[in-house]
């Protein structure tokens, strides 16, 4: 049971950090658009904002990468495979459920 929990935690660590990478990447395009009203601005310079966003995305990406390959380096290849396959599998399930939901909504309208 403990090994299952460890694999589940490894999959969760990978799956929960990927959306933050997308958000950090999207922040660059958000910051570049001047037509969007931004009532609160922390960084006035777009260059500093882009640099820090790239740093944050890279740090999270490398942390993700190393949390995936670290078990394989230690000899636990199965945990590495599950860390990769788990989020992919659950993403496919989520996309299938969402497609089914959209189909049902269109059918009702």
Question: CA quadruple 72, 75, 80, 81: dihedral positive or negative?
Answer: positive
Cβ atoms of 28 and 53 closer than 8 Å? yes
pLDDT band for position 11 (cuts 50, 70, 90): confident
Range of the domain at 35: 2-108
Please tell me the total count of domains within the chain.
1
Instruction: Categorize the per-residue pLDDT at 4 as very low, low, confident or very high, splitting at 50, 70 and 90.
Output: confident
* C-alpha to C-alpha distances, 10 to 15, 50, 53, 92, nearest whole angstrom: 9, 30, 25, 18
pLDDT per residue over 75-108, tens digit each? 989 889 988 998 899 899 999 999 999 999 998 8
């Amino acid at each position: 049971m403990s090994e299952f929990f460890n694999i589940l935690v490894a999959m969760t660590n990978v799956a929960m950090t990927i959306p933050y990478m997308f958000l950090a990447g999207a922040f660059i395009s958000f910051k570049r658009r001047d037509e969007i009203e931004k009532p609160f601005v922390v960084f006035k310079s777009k260059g500093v904002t882009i640099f820090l966003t790239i740093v944050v995305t890279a740090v999270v990406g490398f942390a993700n990468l190393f949390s995936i390959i670290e078990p394989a380096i230690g000899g636990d290849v199965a945990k590495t495979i599950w860390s990769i396959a788990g989020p992919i599998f659950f993403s496919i399930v989520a996309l299938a459920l969402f497609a089914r939901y959209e189909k049902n909504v269109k059918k009702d309208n």
